[in-house]
Structure 1
Amino acid sequence: MGTVVDTANEEACGRVDSNKKAKVIFALGGPCSGKGTQCSKIATNFGYTHLSAGDILRAEKESGSENGTMIQSMMNEGKLVPSEIIVKLIQRAMQESGSDKFLIDGFPRNEENRVAFESVIGIEPEFRLLSRKQGREDDNVDTMKKRLEVYRQLSLPVIEYYNFRAMVRKIEGEKSIEEVSEAVDAIFSSLIDEVETTY
């Protein structure tokens, strides 16, 4: 099961760009849930700037910056990069994009990430769900078992937190990419309708 988070908070969004009302969507999911495929389609169909937390971390690591060196060192030691650093890198990417609509792929992965994002960026999310199986180069039995276990232990509590607050929407993810996309499009179209009826 994958997860997409829809967030909107006008006061807090000023921290990203004081002249715009930002909308942020988090895309989360278990291994091979098709996040990347659906994120590309959402970004194209609805005009969101797609940011991958993993890509942002890798780019910083390869930049040779002070943060990059520290990230490289932590990864080499098998340690997790502190949530506040990840959030600040995401925040910088949001600011540099000049956009006011963001689709953030692969974040938050755990409760610490969620709390840090809400604290630093100041946006409280509303979840939407999507899912689909999709292969990756590092997919093998052992790797998949480890990734699924990490997902169960760290990411599911985040989903449960929002589910308890009635902020979760589910989509059947065992269908074709096109069928999943149609379901996702329906949700995003309903978000547009909600905004239009609010004003």
Structure 2
Amino acid sequence: MISGPPAAGKGTQCEKIVKKFGLIHISAGDLLRAEVNAGTESGKLAAEYMNKGQLVPNQVVVDMVKHRLAQPDVQEQGWLLDGYPRSADQAAAILEEGIHPDVFLLIQVPDDSLIERVVGRRMDPQTGQIYHLTFKPPPRDTLDRLIQRSDDTEEKARARLEVHAGNVASVLDYYQDCLVEIDGSQDIKAVGSAIEDVLDTFQQSNSLEEFQHELAANTA
């Protein structure tokens, strides 16, 4: 499992993990939309709640996740569950179904750094390219047409960060045995290398206890 606040670079790291380790990337949000679009039984049930503006019950999403994790490609290659669970109820529900990660990666970045990343983002509406006024400056000839997403303001970004912090705090007790915190304030390559080191260590370990011992030794 992997979790991280908005603008922490989680999407980029998921791509790197999938490419390096061959895992199947599963996002609960993407899975929910796919089930609804495919018209499966779970998707139809979810759509009923969504059309009424209601939250989809935990058990419906849990059933979707459980079904996806049971598919042959996931059973063969392993899974990377992205941004789920987001509440203690969800964590308890999937644990009851026997779903527990080998490693829970938590990308940590100071809020002020995240705000700077978000507020400085700009998009070129002609190309879809994303720039950052400080970290990835756009070409001068595109400046006049760049736009800022409506939710890339400091006020909205802080609200999203507050929601994320609450979500993470509610689930961590379920994953203390496999939790690894990653310093996401480093550059992208350094974050990727740190994650690879953790997963390489796990693959080379003979047990969870040995993995935890090696991680403690490496971070001491």
TM-score class, shorter-chain normalisation, is 0.7 to 0.9
Match of 2:73 in 1: 98
RCO higher in 1 or 2 (8 Å CA, sep ≥ 6)?
Answer: 1
Distance change >3 Å, CA 78–CA 150, structure 1 → 2:
farther
Match of 1:58 in 2: 33
2:98 counterpart of 1:116: no
Distance change >3 Å, CA 174–CA 89, structure 1 → 2:
same
TM-score by length of 2: 0.66
2:13 counterpart of 1:38: yes
Q: Report SS of the residue matched to 1:98.
A: helix
- 1:74 to partner: Cα distance: 2.5
CA distance in 2, matches of 1:191, 1:32: 27
2:115 counterpart of 1:140: no
CA distance in 2, matches of 1:121, 1:138: 40
Distance change >3 Å, CA 138–CA 32, structure 1 → 2:
farther
Which runs of 5 or more residues in structure 2 are unaligned?
A: 122-148, 211-220
After superposition, the CA RMSD in angstroms is 2.8
- 1:87 to partner: Cα distance: 1.5
CA distance in 2, matches of 1:176, 1:184: 13
Query: Residue 101 of structure 2 contacts residue 178 of structure 2 at CA under 8 Å; is this kept in 1?
Result: no
CA distance in 2, matches of 1:91, 1:114: 13
2:72 counterpart of 1:72: no
Which of residues 159, 164, 167 in structure 2 aligns to 1:151?
164
Query: Residue 130 of structure 1 contacts residue 184 of structure 1 at CA under 8 Å; is this kept in 2?
Result: no
Which of residues 94, 107, 110 in structure 2 aligns to 1:130?
107
Match of 1:180 in 2: 191
Q: Report SS of the residue matched to 1:32.
A: coil
Distance change >3 Å, CA 96–CA 180, structure 1 → 2:
same
Deviations 1:32-86 (A, max 9, x none): 2222211111111112111111100111122234432332342344432222211
Q: Report SS of the residue matched to 2:55.
A: coil
Q: Following superposition, which runs of at least 4 residues in structure 1 exceed 6 angstroms of deviation?
A: none
Identity %: 30
Aligned AA (1:82): P
Q: Report SS of the residue matched to 2:25.
A: strand
Query: Residue 46 of structure 2 contacts residue 60 of structure 2 at CA under 8 Å; is this kept in 1?
Result: no
Query: Residue 127 of structure 1 contacts residue 162 of structure 1 at CA under 8 Å; is this kept in 2?
Result: no
Distance change >3 Å, CA 124–CA 95, structure 1 → 2:
closer
Deviations 1:145-173 (A, max 9, x none): 332222222322212x157x454322211
Give the length in aligned residue pairs.
Answer: 171
Match of 1:18 in 2: none
Distance change >3 Å, CA 67–CA 122, structure 1 → 2:
closer
Q: Report SS of the residue matched to 2:50.
A: helix
